[in-house]
């Protein structure tokens, strides 16, 4: 829950709140989006205690997708300095699926 609130908070901050790092690393923004949602699904699976329940996995992925899409639409509608970016949504969803795959794989060995 705390990580979800962190994602929402950071998604709604004005763009000027963040340093301009475009010159230092190309696509850093997308890597950050990927990482946020990678962690989000990982925390969800860890807290749920079950990585084998299909219904929990589907609920977790749906939640991640809805949050990813929802925050982009909120930025579009309510923020003058932020914009809707389809590639942010793509990075979020890829991060969610990657987190699921890696978390489930690692959980088998622990």
Digit-coded pLDDT (tens) for 78-99: 877 788 899 999 999 999 999 9
Digit-coded pLDDT (tens) for 1-59: 899 999 988 888 776 666 665 556 667 889 999 999 999 999 999 988 766 788 899 99
Report the distance separating Cα 71 and Cα 86, nearest Å: 11
Cβ(42)–Cβ(96) below 8 Å: no
Closest-CA residue to 61 (of 30, 79, 37): 37
CA–CA distances in Å: residue 34 to residues 29, 57, 74: 9, 18, 19
Q: Which pair of structure tokens corresponds to residue 1?
A: 């829950």
pLDDT, position 1: 84
CA–CA distances in Å: residue 95 to residues 29, 31, 78, 80, 107: 13, 9, 25, 27, 18
């Amino acid at each position: 829950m705390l990580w979800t609130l962190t994602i929402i908070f950071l998604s709604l901050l004005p763009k000027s709140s963040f340093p301009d790092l475009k010159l230092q690393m190309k696509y850093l923004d997308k890597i950050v989006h990927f990482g946020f949602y990678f962690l989000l699904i990982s925390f969800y699976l860890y807290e749920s205690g079950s990585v084998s329940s299909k219904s929990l996995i589907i609920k977790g992925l749906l939640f991640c997708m809805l949050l990813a899409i929802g925050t982009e639409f909120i930025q579009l509608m309510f923020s003058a300095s932020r914009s809707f970016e389809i590639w942010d949504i793509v990075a979020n969803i890829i991060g969610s699926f990657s987190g699921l795959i890696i978390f489930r794989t690692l959980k088998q060995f622990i």
